[in-house]
Chains A and B, each alone.
Chain A
């Protein structure tokens, strides 16, 4: 039976931190994450796939964040966009779980 995983797009400007975030998320059997260091790659990934959560990591300027939020929300009004604080230490699971607790729809099936 195929496992339904929560599909997460993580965006951040710090390569090593983003790698850490992806590694931690992908250790979970129920989550899967892809990362983007640039807005262009993030938007391209978002157009290709259905994500459940967009996780904004460090280094993204306010104007870029606003544009990303507007783009993602326009393409998918149900998308959950959260700010990740802490770079993969003690808060990551909490942030994702808290975000998931606020929605009532099923996670997207990752193909």
Chain B
């Protein structure tokens, strides 16, 4: 499949959904540890809108999928669990971008993964991690956690604090190679290094800055003063970049973005970035556009 065909398929899906007795009533939450939400079918209010241009796709924050389980309030940039939108299945190998709030003391019980690169970035509060590789760790704001699920792992993630919410990004990438030996990595970053700078927080290389994963992907985070401008040069021009605004207002390649907006860009060797508010924060995810 040609890259552009794949991109379009990924962004737009098939454009058709067969409404039969067998598929019309099955969109339920499939995370075992969560209480099932009401059947919502297509979560289409107002999530149908993906503004696709020649080499960009815009996902405004309020068009993301939303699931409120009480203890967990999650916004999905791409189809996940009870949120199914064939227009939003993935951006290249980026399959999941969940923006989660977890109540104090609550969390995701023990559950499995395989053949997926799973990255967690805490934004507020502390998360306690345990897995079947005997890793026990706490990650907090400024840390980044990466797991290569490979042949299969079980893990749990809980808000360590009883008295405050935890907020974090949960990001899943399709792996470069299937069935590798599972591995876990986490790193404490110096958040000062991202002030008016794009700080690399993830790469494919163990000896490079940030955590490493089993995929040719690079993540960078930046926190900018108002009117600060910079440029991100792609490591590989065949890749795409999905930008997710963590805070404030930012213009990327002439697209005005606000908090929690997402913008995917491909067929570009570099992208221009301008902060339109003080302390604007962004996460850039450079990813291969084909699996």
**A residues near B, CB below 8 A?**
3-6, 12-14, 16-17, 20, 23-24, 27-31, 57-62, 83, 85-94, 96-98, 100-104, 106-107
Mostly, the B contact residues are loop
Specify which chain A residues have a CB less than 8 angstroms from the CB of B219 in the assembled complex.
none
Cα(A98)–Cα(B85), bound, Å: 9
CA distance A34 to B91 in the complex (A): 32
A96 vs B28: C-alpha distance in the bound complex, in angstroms?
A: 12
The reply to whether B26 and A57 contact each other, CB–CB distance below 8 Å, is no
Q: Whole-angstrom distance between the alpha carbons of A61 and B180 in the complex?
A: 11
Looking at the complex, which one of B89, B112, B179 makes contact with A87 (CB distance below 8 Å)?
Answer: B112
Q: Is the CB of B30 within 8 A of A93?
A: yes
Let me know if B204 is at the binding interface, CB within 8 A: no
- Answer yes or no: B96 CB below 8 A from chain A CBs: yes
* Interface contact B17-A4, CB-CB below 8 Å: no
Indicate whether B18 reaches chain A with its CB closer than 8 angstroms: yes
Determine the interface band of chain B, counting residues with CB < 8 A from chain A: 35 or more
Interface residues of B (CB under 8 A from A): 13-14, 16-18, 20-23, 25-28, 30-32, 79-82, 84, 86, 89, 95-96, 98, 111-116, 149-152, 154, 172, 174, 178-179
| Alpha-carbon distance between A30 and B22 when the two chains are bound, in angstroms | 5
- Shortest Cβ distance from A103 into chain B, in angstroms? 7
**Are B30's CB and A90's CB within 8 A?**
yes
- Knowing A59-B151, A101-B86, the reply to whether A94 touches B20 (Cβ < 8 A) is no
A101: chain B residues within 8 A (beta carbon) = 13-14, 16-18, 23, 86
